[in-house]
Structure 1
Amino acid sequence: MTTTIDLLEDAFTRIRDTVRRAAGELTDVQLTARVAPEANTIAWLVWHLTRVQDDHVAELAGTPQQWESGGWRERFALPFAADATGYGHSSEEVGQVAGAGVTSESLVGYHEAVYAATVAFLRSLATGAEARLDTVVDENWTPPVTMAVRLVSVVSDDLQHAGQAAFVRGLVA
Structure 2
Amino acid sequence: MRTGEVLAEGFERIREVVHEAVEGLSAEELSRQPWDGANTVGWLVWHLTRVQDDHVAEVAGHEQVWTADGWDARFALPLEPGDTGYGHTPQQMSAVRVSSADQLLGYYDAVHARTLAQLAGVGDEDLDRVVDKGWNPPVTLGVRLISVLADDLQHAGQAAYVRGVLRSGGKH
Q: TM-score, normalised by structure 1?
A: 0.94
Provide the residue aligned with 2:25 in structure 1. 26
Per-residue deviation at 1:60?
0.9
Q: Distance in 1 between matches of 2:79 and 2:48?
A: 16
Provide the residue aligned with 1:113 in structure 2. 110
Per-residue deviation at 1:105?
0.7
Task: Tell me the percent identity.
Answer: 50
Q: Distance in 1 between matches of 2:27 and 2:69?
A: 23
Unaligned 5+ segments in structure 2 are 168-172
Segment of structure 1 superposing worse, 85-94 or 131-140:
131-140
Report the AA paired with residue 24 of structure 1. Answer: E
Per-residue deviation at 1:12?
0.5
| Aligned residues: CA RMSD | 0.9
Residue 155 of structure 2 is aligned to residue 161 of structure 1: yes
Q: Distance in 2 between matches of 1:16 and 1:70?
A: 20
Q: Distance in 1 between matches of 2:147 and 2:59?
A: 13
The DSSP-based 3-state class of the residue aligned with 2:131 is strand
Alignment of structure 1 residues 42-121 onto 2, 5 Å: 42-98=41-97, 101-121=98-118
Q: Distance in 2 between matches of 1:122 and 1:92?
A: 35
The DSSP-based 3-state class of the residue aligned with 1:141 is coil
Provide the residue aligned with 2:170 in structure 1. none
Per-residue deviation at 1:64?
1.1
Unaligned 5+ segments in structure 1 are none
Per-residue deviation at 1:160?
0.3
Q: Is the 8 A contact 1:43 1:102 kept in 2?
A: no
Q: Is the 8 A contact 1:28 1:103 kept in 2?
A: yes
Provide the residue aligned with 1:41 in structure 2. 40
* CA offset digits 1:69-91 (Å, max 9, x no partner): 11110110000001000001000
